[in-house]
Amino acid sequence: MVGLVLVSHSKKLANAVKRNKIKRRIRSCVIKALKGHSLAYDLVFVARQGFYDAPYEQIMRTVEEILRRTVLLIQQNPEGTRP
């Protein structure tokens, strides 16, 4: 499991209810994406305006893509192929 998942955002973009909702969604997605992995990293996500109205599936795909780019979530690829 990851040490700390911090979600940063601007108060200008949404009210407290929406900001807390996006924090819960991002944390949930990170926990799902990293299930079974034990990492000693703290993660910081910065939520932008379009993120507040995004469906859960889109947030999950975005979090997985970010984790793949940072090599925290490595997918098993057949030999000879690139991620």
- The answer to whether residue 31 sits within a structural domain is yes
Total number of domains constituting the chain: 1
**Helix or strand run (H / E) with residue 4:** strand 4-8
Residue at 83 is within a domain? no
Contact predicate 60/27, CB 8 Å: no
Look at residue 32 and tell me if it is in a domain: yes
Name the residue with tokens 């991620």: 83
CATH of the domain at 49: 3.30.230.10
In the chain, count H helices and then E strands: 2, 2
**Strand partners for 46:** 8
Q: Which domain does 14 fall in, by range?
A: 4-69
Asked, for residue 54, whether it belongs to a domain, the answer is yes
Q: Considering the domain boundaries, does residue 78 fall inside one? A: no
Judged by average pLDDT, the poorest of 5-14, 34-43, 63-72 is: 34-43
Helix residue ranges, H only, the chain:
16-33, 56-69
How confident is the model at residue 42, as a pLDDT?
80
Residue 62, domain member (yes or no): yes
Does 27 fall in a domain?
A: yes
Owner of token pair 């994406």? 33
Give pLDDT, residue 14.
Answer: 84
Across all residues in the chain, what is the average pLDDT?
79
For residues 23 and 46, the answer to whether their CB atoms sit within 8 Å is: no
Q: Considering the domain boundaries, does residue 80 fall inside one?
A: no
Instruction: Provide the pLDDT for residue 40.
Output: 74
